[in-house]
Chains A and B, each alone.
Chain A
Amino acid sequence: MARRYDSRTTIFSPEGRLYQVEYAMEAISHAGTTLGILATDGVVLVAEKKSSSKLLEQLASSEKIYQLTDHACCAVAGYTSDANTLVGHSRLEAQKYLYTYGENIPVEQLVQKLCDLKQGYTQYGGLRPFGVSFLYAGHDDDHGFQLYHSDPSGNYSGWKATCIGASASNAQGILKQDYTEDMDLKQAKSLAIKVLNKIMDTTTLGSDKLEFATLHLSSSGKVVYKLYKPEEIEALLKEEGVNNPAGTAAPTAATGAPTTNTVV
């Protein structure tokens, strides 16, 4: 009976729900877990990669974490193609602002621009919503380091620590217990690894399954975006005592069915 109200994105159901938006969020709940943690001196973004075939040529592109500007980056969960469109839009908006005002766009305004676009797709045009959720990490002079989450409805909020994708509620619970507001970046990185280790299948936790990025200030006060290389991730995992060399991950992943998902 709800089916009658499914196909048009731009109408409410009798119960007052937007089914297309909810279905988009359902798609995201199957995506690779992505979490972000705000520290006193930076932000951490960690994400579980879904695509894991040995045949994949994964040298250049990122699947989960993207740099948006000099002072902001994001991690995605959902349809990669949708994510690419939105990341491109975000980057353009940030440069448009710089072009006009000669300054970096405040992080919240960047989030708002993207959310305004997403909201449009839930109200007019007759097109389906974007099937992506974002975690944004950024820094500006007004509010320092910030972490935001946005979903297909175009809603967003600021967070101290949050998680999206598969097992998100699980991870969120752990974060709620273990997060403290005075954490520095080192502790935040450590917590991120710890949480992922708990919710991911332990035998699959390796540098080939993770994307890891941080945002912090250099000694001269410039924002530094660091996307970790596989060997740097391995080192981190080793420090936390959860190290599994890339090779041992193979048995659980390669179960015959192709693992290149569109929803990552």
Chain B
Amino acid sequence: MALLPGMQALFGIVGKDFVLTASDTTMARSIVVMKQGEDKSRDLTPTTQMLYSGEAGDTVQFAEYVQRNCRLYGIQNGVSLSPRAAASYVRRELATSLRTRNPYHVSLLIAGVDTKTNTPELYWLDHMASSVKMNFAAQGHAAYFCMSTMDRYWVPDLNIEQAKSLMRKCIEELRVRYIASLTKFTVKIVDKDGIREISL
């Protein structure tokens, strides 16, 4: 999608009983911006969203493969995978891919709410098949700029307005200091009732 792999920004912030996610909507090839308004995510379950970034083609291929398998699990077993189990499964797929001739080069954020306990969870996964559960996270160059912002302002049990405010700060930071112009973001909220797009 982008010439520099890090030029796509993904964010996730865990709130009291939800996860707020954001992804930039720019699709670029080399020096040309091909499209704005691309949603860089796929829903794995009704309450778990996966955001992706990385090499063109690999991203969507991998995301849709994982999405279909998670959906199949839900249909076969009558109950959806928990965020933890979904992240475990995705990580396992990345790990197997890593030791092949041409691994999937994707970085991911998996944001979900465990419906059994109503707890929100956020997982950061990369193409080396590492997986970390975090309270707030970013993928791409954006992480270098915004992790410190989130470090400064994140507290447990954020409500929606507080989380949105923090997300705005992160995006503003990129606008001021990051060389690439990432103007539009797709922002979604993931909670026990589902996944829906909101505006900041």
Q: Which residues of A does B touch, CB under 8 Å?
A: 99-103, 106, 108-109, 141-142
Contact with A along B82-125 (1 / 0, CB 8 A): 10110111001000000000000000000000001000000000
Measured between beta carbons, the chain B residues less than 8 angstroms from A108 are 77
Measured between beta carbons, the chain A residues less than 8 angstroms from B82 are 103
B79, B84, B89, B116: the one contacting A100 at CB < 8 Å is B89
> Is B81 interfacial (CB 8 A cutoff)?
yes
A-B CB contact pairs (8 Å), 6 listed:
A100-B88, A101-B85, A102-B87, A103-B88, A106-B79, A142-B79
Measured between beta carbons, the chain B residues less than 8 angstroms from A142 are 79, 116
Complexed CA–CA distance, A109 and B77 (Å)? 8
Question: Total A-B residue pairs with C-beta atoms closer than 8 Å?
Answer: 23
Within the complex, the shortest CB–CB distance from B138 to chain A, in Å, comes to 24
Q: Which residues of B does A touch, CB under 8 Å?
A: 77, 79, 81-82, 84-85, 87-89, 92, 116
Within the complex, the shortest CB–CB distance from A131 to chain B, in Å, comes to 29
When the two chains form their complex, are residues B79 and A102 in contact, meaning their CB atoms are under 8 A apart? no
When the two chains form their complex, are residues B77 and A100 in contact, meaning their CB atoms are under 8 A apart? no
Measured between beta carbons, the chain A residues less than 8 angstroms from B79 are 106, 142
When the two chains form their complex, are residues B77 and A102 in contact, meaning their CB atoms are under 8 A apart? no
Q: Which A-chain residue is minimally distant from B92 (CB atoms)? A: A100
When the two chains form their complex, are residues A102 and B88 in contact, meaning their CB atoms are under 8 A apart? yes
When the two chains form their complex, are residues B116 and A102 in contact, meaning their CB atoms are under 8 A apart? no
Q: Which B-chain residue is minimally distant from A101 (CB atoms)? A: B85
Q: Which B-chain residue is minimally distant from A106 (CB atoms)? A: B77
When the two chains form their complex, are residues A101 and B81 in contact, meaning their CB atoms are under 8 A apart? yes
Within the complex, the shortest CB–CB distance from A101 to chain B, in Å, comes to 4
When the two chains form their complex, are residues B77 and A103 in contact, meaning their CB atoms are under 8 A apart? no
Closest 10 CB pairs of A and B: A102-B88, A101-B85, A103-B85, A101-B88, A100-B92, A100-B89, A101-B89, A142-B79, A141-B116, A109-B77
Within the complex, the shortest CB–CB distance from B98 to chain A, in Å, comes to 15
Within the complex, the shortest CB–CB distance from B196 to chain A, in Å, comes to 26
Within the complex, the shortest CB–CB distance from A14 to chain B, in Å, comes to 35
Complexed CA–CA distance, A65 and B116 (Å)? 32
Q: A100-B89, A100-B92, A108-B77 are in contact. List 8 more A-B contacts (CB 8 A).
A: A99-B92, A101-B85, A101-B88, A103-B82, A106-B77, A109-B77, A142-B79, A142-B116
Complexed CA–CA distance, A153 and B85 (Å)? 32
When the two chains form their complex, are residues A103 and B84 in contact, meaning their CB atoms are under 8 A apart? yes
Measured between beta carbons, the chain A residues less than 8 angstroms from B89 are 100-101
Measured between beta carbons, the chain B residues less than 8 angstroms from A103 are 82, 84-85, 88
Complexed CA–CA distance, A156 and B181 (Å)? 59
Within the complex, the shortest CB–CB distance from A213 to chain B, in Å, comes to 27
Measured between beta carbons, the chain A residues less than 8 angstroms from B87 are 102
Q: Which B-chain residue is minimally distant from A109 (CB atoms)? A: B77
Complexed CA–CA distance, A218 and B52 (Å)? 41
Complexed CA–CA distance, A141 and B81 (Å)? 12
Complexed CA–CA distance, A142 and B84 (Å)? 15
Measured between beta carbons, the chain B residues less than 8 angstroms from A101 are 81, 85, 88-89
Q: Which A-chain residue is minimally distant from B85 (CB atoms)? A: A101
Within the complex, the shortest CB–CB distance from A151 to chain B, in Å, comes to 22
Which of A102, A103, A108, A109 has the most chain B CB atoms inside 10 A of its CB? A102
Complexed CA–CA distance, A142 and B77 (Å)? 11
Q: Which A-chain residue is minimally distant from B114 (CB atoms)? A: A141
Measured between beta carbons, the chain A residues less than 8 angstroms from B84 are 102-103
Within the complex, the shortest CB–CB distance from B173 to chain A, in Å, comes to 34
Q: Which B-chain residue is minimally distant from A98 (CB atoms)? A: B88
Complexed CA–CA distance, A102 and B88 (Å)? 6
Measured between beta carbons, the chain A residues less than 8 angstroms from B92 are 99-100
Q: Which B-chain residue is minimally distant from A97 (CB atoms)? A: B85
Complexed CA–CA distance, A109 and B81 (Å)? 13
Measured between beta carbons, the chain B residues less than 8 angstroms from A106 are 77, 79
Within the complex, the shortest CB–CB distance from B122 to chain A, in Å, comes to 16
